[in-house]
């Protein structure tokens, strides 16, 4: 089986982790993969630097946003697909889904076309007229797709019920998963604190935020929350794991913060299992999400998580059971929930233990690989 996998960009984040895992692990099942990928910005990192065990083709036209070179990108992809001869063309993320599906649909031979929504840009990113245009475009592209994959039930519900992109029978839910092996045995809190440059022996509560420094991730809401009365007088270390276009603005806000919290922008880390144990609480204040791998990694590390109840997050976290949920864009409530979680270490430890058990029970990357392989075989050979 030959699979052409098309991804918009290889920035540090969930989609590239899943894509690389599929490229590598499907090989053992006789699947030959060629990965077509667009450029990444310097601030958001490039996870393909140094990767030499996956066949990679760079496609400059897969850059974000509409541009005059999109037609050239479709033609370039179509020529590359024609040369590779895939049985399956599987696109990931919005721009790759547009150019890749149009390229595949115009081939003389007809590969099976699959697109994965790792989330979507139909809520929280654009003004309503743009969203309506994008919805119409996604509906059109869905008609040329043999399967639409959603990374969680709530993402699927959005596509089917909220935006009517695809009928229910056209969606396959394959929930996200991670490589659990690095999380089987965790390092100490002291070692993890030292790894990110904190005083290893200090008992100052530590909040870790593993997210790109981009507007949709809600860092501004968190900074507002730190200035609220519930948190402003507390000694806190707030560690931002990530980089992105908002870094300069966030660093400026952090310097001017009217609170005792210290904000540390440490950039991306390649091995989250080495730094997550530093956290008393992992916070994800996003305005929109798919099914974030960052939460799965934090839960696998045995750290309590507090996240906004957006997108597929409630598929991963049950409030008060294996983590905490809060409404998005509400700094007051976010501050109150952070304070309450920090003030109850016993409840926090219990939630962390249940979260770790949940992830180890259902979120292995091996399960993700099996479900993708079953989907491909069904599309090629029938049920």
Average the pLDDT over each of 9-18, 62-71, 171-180 and give the range with the smallest value. Answer: 62-71
181-362: CATH topology: Rossmann fold (3.40.50)
Question: What was the pLDDT predicted at 312?
Answer: 93
User: Average pLDDT, stretch 273-291?
Assistant: 96
Question: What was the pLDDT predicted at 58?
Answer: 92
Phi, psi of 305 (to 5 degrees): -120, 145
pLDDT band at 43 (very low <50, low <70, confident <90, very high): low
pLDDT band at 68 (very low <50, low <70, confident <90, very high): low
Residue with tokens 């991804």: 7
Helix (H, G, I), strand (E, B) or coil at 129: helix
The answer on pLDDT for 349 being more than 80 is: yes
Question: What was the pLDDT predicted at 271?
Answer: 92
The C-alpha atoms of residue 219 and residue 382 are separated, in whole angstroms, by 46
pLDDT band at 122 (very low <50, low <70, confident <90, very high): confident
The C-alpha atoms of residue 347 and residue 34 are separated, in whole angstroms, by 46
Q: In what order do the strands lie in the sheet with 171-173?
A: 55-58, 32-37, 2-7, 88-92, 112-117, 147-150, 171-173
Residue 148 pairs in a beta bridge with 115, 171
**CATH class for domain 2-177+364-381?**
alpha beta
The answer on pLDDT for 7 being more than 80 is: yes
Question: What was the pLDDT predicted at 46?
Answer: 77
User: Average pLDDT, stretch 335-358?
Assistant: 98
Question: What was the pLDDT predicted at 325?
Answer: 98
For the entire predicted model, the pTM comes to: 0.93
The C-alpha atoms of residue 32 and residue 83 are separated, in whole angstroms, by 14
- Is 175 within 8 Å of 291 (Cβ atoms)? yes
Question: What was the pLDDT predicted at 42?
Answer: 66
The answer on pLDDT for 4 being more than 90 is: yes
Helix (H, G, I), strand (E, B) or coil at 256: coil
3-state secondary structure 278-318: HCCEEEECCCCCCCCHHHHHHHHCCCCEEEECCCCHHHHCC
What is the average pLDDT value for the chain, to the nearest integer?
Answer: 93
User: Average pLDDT, stretch 257-283?
Assistant: 95
Delimit the CATH 3.40.50.2000 region(s) of the chain.
2-177+364-381, 181-362
pLDDT band at 94 (very low <50, low <70, confident <90, very high): confident
């Amino acid at each position: 089986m030959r699979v052409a996998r098309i991804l918009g960009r290889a920035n540090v984040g969930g989609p590239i982790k899943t894509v690389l895992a599929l490229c590598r692990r499907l090989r053992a099942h006789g699947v030959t993969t060629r990965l077509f990928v667009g450029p990444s910005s310097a601030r958001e990192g490039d996870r393909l630097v140094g990767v030499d065990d996956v066949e990679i083709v760079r496609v400059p036209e897969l850059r974000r946003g509409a541009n005059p070179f999109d037609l050239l990108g479709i033609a370039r992809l179509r020529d590359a697909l024609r040369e590779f001869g895939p049985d399956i063309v599987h696109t990931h993320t919005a721009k790759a889904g547009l150019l890749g599906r149009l390229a595949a649909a115009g081939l003389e031979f007809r590969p099976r076309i699959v697109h994965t929504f790792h989330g979507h840009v139909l809520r929280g990113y654009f003004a309503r007229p743009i969203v309506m245009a994008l919805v119409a475009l996604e509906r059109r592209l869905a008609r040329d797709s043999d399967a639409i994959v959603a990374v969680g039930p709530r993402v699927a519900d959005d596509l089917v019920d909220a935006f009517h992109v695809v009928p229910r029978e056209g969606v396959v839910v394959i929930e996200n998963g991670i490589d659990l092996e690095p999380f089987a045995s965790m390092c100490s809190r002291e070692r993890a604190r030292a790894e990110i440059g904190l005083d290893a022996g200090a008992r100052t509560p530590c909040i870790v935020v593993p997210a790109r420094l981009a507007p949709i991730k809600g860092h501004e809401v968190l900074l507002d929350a730190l200035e609220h009365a519930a948190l402003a007088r507390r000694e806190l270390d707030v560690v931002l794991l990530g980089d992105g276009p908002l870094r300069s603005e966030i660093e400026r806000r952090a310097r001017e913060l009217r609170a005792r919290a210290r904000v540390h922008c440490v950039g991306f880390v390649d091995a989250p299992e080495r730094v997550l144990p530093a956290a008393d609480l992992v916070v994800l204040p996003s305005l929109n999400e798919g099914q974030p791998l960052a939460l799965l990694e934090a839960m696998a590390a045995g750290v309590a998580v507090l996240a906004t109840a957006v997108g597929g997050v409630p598929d991963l976290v049950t409030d008060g059971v294996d983590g905490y949920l809060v409404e998005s864009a509400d700094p007051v409530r976010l501050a109150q929930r952070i304070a309450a979680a920090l003030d109850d270490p016993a409840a926090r430890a219990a939630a962390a233990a249940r979260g770790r058990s949940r992830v180890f029970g259902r979120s292995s990357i091996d399960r993700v690989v099996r479900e993708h392989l079953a989907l491909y075989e069904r599309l090629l050979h029938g049920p």
